[in-house]
Chain A
Amino acid sequence: MIIGEISAVWEHADLTERTIEHLWMFSVALVIAVILGVTIGIVLYRHRSWAEPALNGLNALETFPDMALLILLIPIAGIGEVPTIIACIIYSLLPITRNTYTGLVSIRQEIVDTGTALGLTEREIVRKIRIPIALPMIAGGIRIAIVFTMGIVTLGGIIGAGGLGAPLQTGIMLIIPPLIITTGLWVGILAVILDGCAGIVEKRLTVRYGEW
Chain B
Amino acid sequence: MNPIHPFENIDRIEIRNLTKTYGGVTAVSDVSFDVIGGELLVLIGGSGSGKTTTLRMINRLIEPESGSVTINGTDTREFDEVMLRRNIGYVIQQIGLFSHMNVSDNIGLIPKLEGWGRERIEARIHELLEMVDLPPEIFASRYPRELSGGQQQRVGLARALVMNPPLFLMDEPFGALDPILRKQLQDEFLTIKNDIGRTILFVTHDIDEAFKLGDRIAIMDEGELVQVGTPEELIFHPKTDQVAHLVEADRKYRHIESFTVQDLMTPVSKRQFFDVATPVSEVVEQILSDAIGFVIIMNGRNVVGTASRHEIIRKRLQSLTLGDITSEPMLVSPDDVAVPVLQEMKRKNASFALVVTTDGAVSGTLIPDSVLFHII
* Contact between chain A and chain B defined by CB under 8 Å: no
Residue numbers of B with Cβ under 8 A of A are: none
Residue numbers of A with Cβ under 8 A of B are: none
